[in-house]
Amino acid sequence: MPWVLAVAGGLPVLGQNAEAPPANGAPRLPPKVVLDTEYLSSGLPTIDQGDRDVCSLFAITGLAEFEYARSAPNAHTRLSQEYLVWAATGKTGEQAMFWEATYGLNKEGICAFDLMPYDLKADPARKPSPAAMQNARTLGERWKVNWIKRWNVTEPLTPAQIGQIKHALAGGHPVACGLRWPKKINDTAILTVPPPGEVRDGHSIAFTGYEDDPSVPGGGFFHFRNSCGDKWGEDGFGHMCYGYAEAYANDVLWMKLEAPGSEAPARRHEAEAMKVVRAQHCQTSVQNMDQFEGALWSHHEQLFGNAEKGGSVVLRFEVVDPGAYRVRLLATAAPDFGRIRIALDGKFAGPDVDLYAGRVSPSGALELGTHELGAGPHLLEVTSVGKSPASGGFSFGLDALDLAPAR
């Protein structure tokens, strides 16, 4: 029988850059959604990662393969975990966090598996061929990343976040999850919630479905796709109760493959170069991010806002060509950062965003919606309105503001 995990308690918070569950009156979630068979029918069996420390890259590649297969159902094209190892790490070690993997995926794309097959032996000098890099460009700057939980080991998943995972799955999108893993696993089903001393940090998998079941800890269980080959579990898939996921999930996200070039900004305004019009209860300074893997930030810098609760900064940027723009804010998440509220020209833009994370990392693109912007100056206001109980402060970091013509 598959493993099922029980859900631990926690304080509900707003989702972090994730599409919200349907409002009241919207259709209820079905009690069961399973994407496992679609993986297999699309020619996407699981591959064994062996002893290499690349489970997070396998999980993200697994999401990318599924989304690509959905967009080209007759292609039956495997994507290269090995290419993503190169694109996401660029260093001696192979382990990568989800934010590094998704950054590399958008920046460098990902090629077909046959152009850079996975090797059970690590090789820091391994690089893609020119043919692999050319093939990968077709899948670069196309991935919209939706964070449900940014990495931290302090807070459990909330019921709202469990709901966001289920909504993504019901929408046909597998969900990547990094989590603490049982030290001893004798089956392919995690149906109980062991105490903290019996888990380790960690492992990454992809949720591929769910089934509500009140007899299971947390009220049901997720299907998940592992990276141990198709001889593990049921064709490489296992089960995990909601309770275990709630108690031990570190970070969670899902992705969507958009039109070519959709994630590349037509115009980028660097936050540290924008004029500070006003700052209240917030001291601003330009911060070099090289100590935190600076290449993940535009120009290796950010505008740091050392804010109190309620502190705010207003920045000015210029629009040359008037029109309707998709607006996105690139920010930073950190252990002492707060929850921010964003306004564009005096109007709230998007939901509040919790920038707490267990490590300093890029937030990913925060979607602020589509706005008609006239030629001339415009104002971006960021206010620290609160913080996670686990956060050490109310500060925030702003990397850049991206504008792209609305499609």
Biggest CA pair distance of the chain: 64
Residue 73, pLDDT score: 74
What is the mean pLDDT of the segment spanning 162-175?
98
CA end-to-end distance (rounded Å), the chain? 47
Q: Which residue is it, tokens 């109007």? A: 347
**Mean pLDDT confidence for 301-314:** 98
| Res 258: pLDDT | 95
Rounded to 5 degrees, φ, ψ at 77 are: -100, 120
Give dist(CA 334, CA 269) in Å, integer. 22
| Superfamily of segment(s) 32-257 | Cysteine proteinases (3.90.70.10)
pTM of the full structure? 0.91
CATH topology of domain 267-405: Jelly Rolls (2.60.120)
pLDDT for 146-155, tens place per residue? 999 999 999 9
pLDDT band at 1 (very low <50, low <70, confident <90, very high): very low
Name the band, by pLDDT with cuts 50, 70 and 90, for residue 5. Answer: very low
Rounded average pLDDT over 106-121? 97
Mean pLDDT of 397-404: 97
Average pLDDT, the chain: 91
- Which residues sit opposite 305 in a β-bridge? 284, 396
Locate the domains of the chain by residue range. 32-257, 267-405
Q: Spell out the SS3 assignment of 112-124.
A: EHHHCCCCCCCCC
**Rounded Cα distance, 42 and 39, in Å:** 5
d(CA 397, CA 89): 23
CA–CA separation, 330 and 299 (whole Å)? 12
Q: Is 343 exposed, middle or buried (0-12, 13-18, 19+ CB in 10 A)?
A: middle
Q: Is 353 helix (H, G, I), strand (E, B) or coil?
A: strand
Which stretches of 152-300 are assigned E, i.e. beta strand? Answer: 175-182, 189-190, 199-212, 220-225, 237-241, 249-257, 267-270, 275-288
- The set of residues, in sequence order, having a beta carbon less than 8 Å from that of 392 and lying 6+ positions away, is 335, 336
pLDDT in tens, 260-288: 989 988 899 999 999 999 999 999 999 99
For 365-397, what is each residue's pLDDT tens digit?
999 999 999 999 999 999 999 999 999 999 999
27 falls in which pLDDT band (50, 70, 90)?
low
pLDDT score recorded for residue 28: 87
Provide DSSP, 10-58. ------SS-PPPPPTTSPPPPSEEE-HHHHHHTT----B-TTSS-HHHH
pLDDT in tens, 331-361: 999 999 999 999 999 999 999 999 999 999 9
Tell the residue number behind the tokens 């290449």, with chain if given: 295
pLDDT the model gives residue 6: 31
Structure tokens at 105: 């995926």
pLDDT at 91: 56
* Per-residue pLDDT at 3 exceeds 60: no
Residue 316 near residue 275 (C-beta atoms within 8 A): yes
d(CA 132, CA 192): 43
Question: 187-219 pLDDT, tens per residue?
Answer: 789 999 999 999 998 999 999 999 999 999 999
- Residues 177 and 243: their CA atoms lie apart, in Å, by 14
pLDDT band at 76 (very low <50, low <70, confident <90, very high): low
- Asked if residue 93 has pLDDT above 80, the reply is no
Q: What is the pLDDT of residue 95?
A: 87
| CA proximity to 316, closest of 286, 365, 284, 271 | 271
**In this predicted structure, what is the pLDDT of residue 90?**
64
Q: Are 244 and 190 in contact (CB under 8 A)?
A: yes
Confidence of residue 92 (pLDDT cuts 50, 70, 90): low
